[in-house]
Amino acid sequence: MGRIEKGESVKEELNQMKGEVVKEFRRKDSGHGKMTCSVLFFLFLFGFIGWILWIIASTGLVSIPLLSRFAYDIPVPVRIVTPGVPLETVAKEDVQTILTRRLQEGGGVLKETTVELVFTEASFTSTLQSLIEANGYAMVDANHVQIALEENGIVEAFFPLQNQAQKTALVAQFRFEFVNSGIVVKPQRIRLGSFVFPQLLSVFFTDTFIKPQLPALNDSLGQYAQIRSMTYQKGQLTIEGDFNVKVVR
């Protein structure tokens, strides 16, 4: 009996020691786990702050030492466009010239009603500069705002900002499309400095600043012609349609 009691006592001591060792390992594992979570949290926090600072630096609105050097490049337009004759003036003069010639050829009768109007990027630039000044966008340098037209249908609007040491600018690329007898705009790519807007932000910018100008453009063109189609060439946009004027004999 003495041996049995002694064996059971040793067994109990071993089980107790085993339990204490397991508790110690669990305590150390718990400490390591908390430390790992803390390290990961601070790494995430520093990474998030760094990402925000990188975005701010990439816009060019402010200069952040070191970051701006790598995150920001001064935006430049695809080419320099000099302002020309405003769109409305071009449309009015071209329609009057074509209409007069057609009436002379038809002996006072307008036999041919189709018309083709060509608008250059210089005319778009002049009209856009006037709209910027009329709407009082003080933060935009209206004198250097411009529009460039590409043959693939991309329109680039370049909006340099006023009083910026970094010389940053908003560059919006979009497409003019013909829908239901009018011109609509579809955003393609918009960036501020080197920061490219997410799609939702691009749509918001287009809806807020560009679309409100389209009714005036459509009304202006609609005075002279009913638009049927549009085609692009480098530096110009050609609109085809029918005369929307009455001839008084």
pLDDT in tens, 89-117: 998 899 889 888 888 888 888 888 888 89
Domain locations in the chain as residue ranges: 1-72, 87-243
* Chain position carrying tokens 């918009």: 190
**Residue 53 burial by Cβ neighbours in a 10 Å radius (0-12, 13-18, 19+):** middle
pLDDT, residue 4, reads: 46
Low-confidence winner among 18-27, 128-137, 191-200 (lowest mean pLDDT): 18-27
Longest dimension (CA), the chain: 138
Q: Where are the alpha helices (DSSP H) in the chain?
A: 2-59, 67-71, 87-105, 121-135, 199-205, 214-222
- Per-residue confidence band for 195, with pLDDT thresholds at 50, 70 and 90: very high
Task: Give me the amino acid identity at 79.
Answer: R
pLDDT band for position 81 (cuts 50, 70, 90): very high
* pLDDT of 6: 46
| Segment of 88-92, 180-184, 210-214 carrying the highest mean pLDDT | 88-92
What is the edge-to-edge ordering of all strands in the sheet holding 236-243?
A: 114-120, 236-243, 225-233
pTM flag (> 0.85): no
Spatial distance between the Cα atoms of 92 and 98, rounded to a whole number of angstroms:
10
* Token couple for 147: 């529009």
Mean pLDDT score, 34-63: 87
Query: CA of 118: how far to CAs of 9, 95, 188, 230, 236, in Å?
Result: 105, 11, 24, 10, 7
